[in-house]
Amino acid sequence: MDLVVALTLQVVYGIAHLVLISLGLAIVFGMMRVINLAHGEFLMLGGYTVVVSTNHGVNLWVAMLILAPLVVGIIGIIVERALIQFLYGRMVDTLLATWGLSLLFIGLVTTIFGAQTGTTISPPLGAVRIGDYSMSTYELLLIAIAAVLSLAVYLVLRLTRLGLMARATMQSADMASTLGVSTKRIYMITFGLGAAVSGLAGGLLAPLTGVLPTIGATYIAKAFITVISGGAAILAGTVSASVLLGGINGVASYLTGPTIGEVALLVAAIVLLRLMPRGITGRYFRKSL
């Protein structure tokens, strides 16, 4: 019984982990059709923001929940103004440009901070016991944060004026701009928001994984697989794909081992995309966000 509870929580955490690393990408790729190969580096920069600011005495929670999204959001806006805005609608060019950007970020961070950055941040809050098993309280908190973050994205898109304009711009930019929406600004804000969500995720994961300039590479493939399996509806898609792939990965990892766990995740994504080429939300939850 304890094992069932502990394992269920672990699988739910695996799902939350996928939601966190994919949500920023879902906003940028799902809404704007910008293939952001520097997504992993946005997560990495979030992690570095936390490490650098805590090394300078900033409180860990402030660093994770406020500074990381703020700093990476600003970097996102600069990137959009300086690079992405010239490349809308040119998918291959964006792909190359953001790949270059990812190399640039890795190079810059390595130059400034070195190949490894001394840090002693570890997950706060200790562990909870479940019978014979124990689990990091911080991982449970991340599950809650992933849920709150998804809800917040939903509410912003559904209920605010900004969300309405953003959805209008993504559906038909020309029509939106004839109606007086500054599509340029919307693109900029959306990209910045996507970057901020990635920064927050990267900051939150830093205590659990540590940071290295090259850590982004471990996230990027899974984030893309999740978003693409999710399909057009960014939120419902990301969450449903995370539940499916994260669940399969968690159970398979427990039953066999991590190698088969990773293979199971990839096989599930391939089968899913063969059956539903437009992702989960290309067939189900079509009206959702």
Interface residues toward other proteins, by CB under 8 A: 3, 6-7, 10-11, 13-14, 17, 86, 107, 110, 114-123, 126-127, 129, 132-136, 138-139, 205, 207-210, 212, 214-215, 217-219, 250, 253-254, 257-259, 261-262
Decide whether 152 or 221 has the Cβ nearer to other proteins.
221
The single-letter code of the amino acid at 216 is: G
Question: How far apart are CB 253 and other proteins at their closest, in Å?
Answer: 4
Question: How far apart are CB 35 and other proteins at their closest, in Å?
Answer: 18
Question: How far apart are CB 140 and other proteins at their closest, in Å?
Answer: 11
Round to whole Å and give the CA distance between 19 and 213: 22
Question: How far apart are CB 57 and other proteins at their closest, in Å?
Answer: 16
Round to whole Å and give the CA distance between 47 and 200: 8
Decide whether 12 or 227 has the Cβ nearer to other proteins.
12
Decide whether 14 or 69 has the Cβ nearer to other proteins.
14
Distances (CA, A) of 219 to 40, 127, 214, 215, 286: 6, 25, 10, 7, 27
Decide whether 30 or 40 has the Cβ nearer to other proteins.
40
Residue 169 near residue 185 (C-beta atoms within 8 A): no
Torsional sign, CA 156, 123, 101, 270: negative
Question: How far apart are CB 146 and other proteins at their closest, in Å?
Answer: 14
Number of other residues whose CB lies within 10 A of the CB of residue 90 = 12
Round to whole Å and give the CA distance between 213 and 108: 9
Decide whether 193 or 206 has the Cβ nearer to other proteins.
206
